[in-house]
Amino acid sequence: MKIRNGFVSNSSSSSFILWGIQYKPEEGDARDILEEKVEYNNADGLECASGISNYMDSDAFVGISPERMRDDETLAQFKQRVADCLAKVGIPATARDIKFFSDAGYDG
């Protein structure tokens, strides 16, 4: 299976699953800001994704794919690891803030 790091989208479709947060900056394009934060800091496994489904009120998400959960790691530990990675790139979050997000859509 191919795992993509970075934004997973194109002009007509998007598909992703991750444990993380929905990112809504005060100003600027959330996608551009996230991509810069994550790539600049080379954060341990963080991925950025954008969704296209109509039910989502924002189109930028950042977190870690559940495929990267360690065999000996509980969900609580994994959520804490996601929160710790977000803190490394300057995005404050606690383990309680970490939610499951998925999107699979076609905008055509």
pLDDT at 75: 96
pLDDT at 66: 92
The pTM (predicted TM-score) of the whole model is 0.72
**Domain locations in the chain as residue ranges:** 13-106
Distance (Å, whole) CA 22 – CA 57:
9
CA-wise closest residue to 64 among 46, 89, 42: 46
pLDDT in tens, the chain (108 residues): 444 555 444 444 557 889 999 887 777 667 777 777 777 655 567 877 766 544 445 568 888 989 889 999 999 999 999 999 888 888 889 999 999 988 776 555
CB 31 within 8 A of CB 50: yes
Residue pointed to by tokens 């998400």? 61
